Amino acid sequence: MTEILKFRAGVADFDESSNICSPKPIKGEIVVKPSEEAEGFYDLEWNATEKVASGNVEPIELILIPGTTKWVHVKSSKNGRIFCLVFSSDEKYFFWLQDKNQGCSSLNELSTADKAIADKFDELLDAGDEEEDQQVSEDADVDMDAPTQPSPEQTSNQ
């Protein structure tokens, strides 16, 4: 299937006790394309683009359902341009944008390219209620108290 969106991004961890997102120092890439399983849905794949000394880095594969998934800028982040993929189940995945942020004065200020990525996500994930979605998009920040995705350590210890 044809890619709709492709950009460099890494994974970030979220510490619930301090409410701080910390980018992992691994280069990666996000690819979004139409889902092969269901019409109107999208597949998001994150893969590391470099080998790491600690071994293999697990890819992230998610199905995005318009109207139930949001791509939200974490405006409170001081560690770079971090976005959160938020599902209606309150499951969250944090990603940091890795392309250089030319001409911006702060680490978390979005470039024109970053805004284009966010706009494309908004377009893909819009379920059709444009007025309500526009208001949510303009006002949203991530609720840092809601559950996040389990870390590989958490899932392997269960």
CATH code at position 79: 2.30.29.70
Domain residues for the domain of 60 are 5-156
Identity of the amino acid at 70: K
For the residues 100-110, what does the mean pLDDT come to? 78
Specify the pTM: 0.78
- In this predicted model, what pLDDT tens digit does every residue of 34-88 receive, in sequence order? 999 889 999 999 999 988 777 788 999 999 999 999 999 998 888 789 999 999 9
For the residues 128-152, what does the mean pLDDT come to? 49
pLDDT at position 141 over 70: no
Question: DSSP character for 38?
Answer: S
From the list 142, 125, 157, the residue with the least C-alpha distance to 44 is: 125
Of residues 129 and 38, more confidence is placed in 38
Alpha-carbon dihedral 19, 25, 29, 30, rounded to 10 degrees? -10
Count the domains in the chain.
1
